[in-house]
């Protein structure tokens, strides 16, 4: 576990305290969970961007071209938008 002196504007800190209280957690737990959530989000987005950069649209179109043109199973139909 490590420490970091965090400076926040007072109005943000007040909101964080209130939300932590509402969620039944300490301010430390609340802020830690927010940081963990954002780190996870940024790592996932970076992973998706790396994977998208490796994409081969021509190969994907080739795979899709092999899909038979059949009606969807009952219940899988897409409703036309109005």
Domains: count for the chain: 1
Is 27 a member of any domain? Answer: yes
Is 79 a member of any domain? Answer: no
Condensed to tens digits (0 to 9), the pLDDT of residues 24-72 reads 999 999 999 999 999 999 999 999 999 999 999 999 999 999 999 999 9
- Is residue 42 within 8 Å of residue 34, measured between CB atoms? no
Structural domain of 49 = 10-65
Q: pTM here?
A: 0.66
Across the chain, mean pLDDT equals 95
Strands (E) in 37-82, as ranges, are none
- Is residue 17 within 8 Å of residue 27, measured between CB atoms? yes
């Amino acid at each position: 576990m490590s420490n970091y002196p965090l400076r926040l504007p007072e109005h943000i800190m007040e909101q964080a305290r209130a939300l932590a209280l509402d969620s039944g957690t300490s301010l430390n737990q609340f802020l830690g969970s927010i940081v963990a959530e954002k780190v996870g989000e940024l790592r996932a987005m970076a992973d998706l961007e790396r994977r998208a950069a490796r994409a081969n649209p021509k190969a994907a179109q080739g795979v899709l071209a092999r899909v038979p043109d059949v009606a969807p199973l009952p219940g899988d139909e897409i409703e036309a938008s109005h």
